[in-house]
Amino acid sequence: MTLERQSSHLFQPLTIRGRTFKNRVTISPMCQHAGSDGYVTDWHVVHYGKFVLGGAALVLTESTAVASDSRVGVDDLGIWSDDHIPGLKRLADFAHDNGALMGVQLAHSGRKAFSQPLWHGGQAMRPEEIDAADVPWRRVGPSAIPASTEWSTPEALTAEEIARIVEQHVDAARRADAAGMDVVELHYGHGYLVASFLSPLANQREDQYGGSLDNRMRIAVEIAEAVRAVWPEEKPLFARLSCVDGAEGGWGMDETVVLAERLKAVGGDVIDCSSGGLSEETRRSNVPRGFGFQVPFSERVRREVDVKTQAVGLIVEPQQAEDIIANGRADLVAIGRAALENPYWPALAQRELESGLSFEGWHERHGAWLEKREPVLRKLKAERDASAD
């Protein structure tokens, strides 16, 4: 017997510019520290590939460095050289061949450059440790103020160096296009370079990049505008923001709404709403970490700015994600650790939400085998249940 299929909001397609997302589930960037001088390795092919096969509409790379000295960790992915293009293209090609979109998160880690992987403690690397790794490195920021006592004091960037960082993002976007990426996401969160410029605590400059809110937002708007100018018109541009940075007297939602309006005005399409990360103080953030704790940020930006948003943060259950989309709180939901736990989360969610759908959302090379087994499983389960009674 075929059950009647129910329709879900989570699995309705969404078109942004010239790209159609087959559903509303994306895979959030997650640092893997598995690169080799910025190059894609077999780890990345398998890591991202399993999410593609799992049914997500868009898979975003981890924080991908626009400059060799701007990495989060020594073994981050990079996009500072044309030589990185073939590896990234391999990821995009696999996604396209299997029904998904692929995106790259462009990042400059600024004063939080070079930290250990989480499984090695996740702490800031000491200067002597980075020297021993024999990689180019600098910690830079808007002002000579360290991210916390764990971090060395960064160099305050000159206006000329800021202009060069804008160009590094532009060059990276060109490479992303050459690699066949569908989406560029600008990383403006988690205390990295742009986030530190936004914060009145980290940014104490007295030039055009400091002081007023307009000045502190200047680098964010300049990067977005310059990237949009070279990023193809048909491809979406995302920006991830720490909507509240978690620090007392720091960046908050009112400022986020203003920045989202500016980013929309220069061609930004989606605001990816995260939080925290400015300093060690934000580990004790006053944002309670409940299920979907950052969804209210996404909802407010979407409502007040009339821009598409992506919700992220402890979204773990299909019905939870469905309700976020159905109630207009976001246009996309990003899952990270839930996908690490089960790469097939999107496909299983579709089956759960759209009863009777069977294995339509699964890749044919997997779904066909599961579909063939299904009648047998139903019969055996019915017999088991009957005997239990």
Question: So which residues are the catalytic ones?
Answer: 192
Contact 19, 336 (CB under 8 A): no
DSSP 132-145: HHT-----EESSS-
Rounded alpha-carbon distances, angstroms, from residue 368 to 7, 27, 376: 22, 24, 14
Rounded alpha-carbon distances, angstroms, from residue 30 to 77, 93, 129, 311: 11, 20, 23, 15
Contact 192, 112 (CB under 8 A): yes
Nearest to 40 by CA among 155, 176, 138: 176
d(CA 195, CA 189) in angstroms, rounded, equals 5
d(CA 197, CA 191) in angstroms, rounded, equals 9
**281 CB neighbour count, 10 Å cutoff:** 16
Classify the C-alpha dihedral 126-132-133-139 as positive or negative: positive
| Rg of the chain, C-alpha, whole Å | 22
* Residue carrying the six token digits 């696999």: 94
